[in-house]
Amino acid sequence: MGSIVTIRDLSKVYVRGRQQVEVLHHIDLDIAQGDFLALMGPSGSGKTTLLNLIGGLDSPTAGTLEVGGQRIDRLGEGALAKWRSEHVGFVFQFYNLLPMLSAQKNVELPLLLTRLAAAERRRRAAIALQLVGLADRVGHKPGELSGGQQ
């Protein structure tokens, strides 16, 4: 199988005032299609930074980053946002749910970035909630759901 992720000589430097913090230093990595892997290391070692780069949430300072056959390190902000909306799904450590919206509306929210009609967004969100066993909780707000339901 080919690689789904190919990283060569990847570096990421953040600037904090006058200080430069090099979080990733010349990383090479290949992830084969179908692989299941875990990324482990101590706090501050660059795990989240690497995942943010692979997911297109951030851009590298140097090096090349190819995901699914596309060089995402070459994409500008708008093109990267479009690429994310078409190719990436995120499950964040924190839920990032909007407390004033129902479960249904929270699930529908990312679909506003697509060209789907409102009825189709509602339908897809309802299906997603049904698939995870929350069909009976669509009108509940995050504060009315358990941690697992959130």
Q: pLDDT tens digit string along 19-65? A: 998 999 999 999 999 999 999 988 788 998 999 999 999 999 999 99
And the tokens for 52? 């943010």
Mean pLDDT (whole number) for 122-144? 93
Q: What is the pLDDT of residue 92?
A: 66
Identify the CATH number of the domain defined by range 3-87. Answer: 3.40.50.300
Q: What is the pLDDT of residue 147?
A: 80
Q: What is the pLDDT of residue 25?
A: 95
Q: What is the pLDDT of residue 54?
A: 96
Three-class HEC string of 60-98: CCEEEEEECCEEHHHCCHHHHHHHHHHHCCCCCCCCCCC
Buried b or exposed e, range 34-56, using 16+ CB within 10 angstroms: eeeeeeeeeeeebeebbeebbeb
How confident is the model over 119-130, as pLDDT tens digits?
999 999 999 999
Q: Is 34 helix (H, G, I), strand (E, B) or coil?
A: coil
Q: If we measure between CA atoms, which residue out of 55, 56, 1, 58 comes closest to residue 30?
A: 1
Numbered ranges of CATH 3.40.50.300 in the chain:
3-87
How buried is residue 23: exposed, middle or buried, by Cβ count under 10 Å (0-12/13-18/19+)?
A: middle
How confident is the model over 7-28, as pLDDT tens digits?
999 999 998 889 998 999 999 9
pTM: 0.69
Beta bridge partners of 15: 20
Q: If we measure between CA atoms, which residue out of 5, 16, 145 comes closest to residue 88?
A: 5
Residue 4 belongs to what H/E stretch? Answer: strand 3-16
Considering the chain, what is the average pLDDT of its residues?
91
Q: What is the pLDDT of residue 93?
A: 64
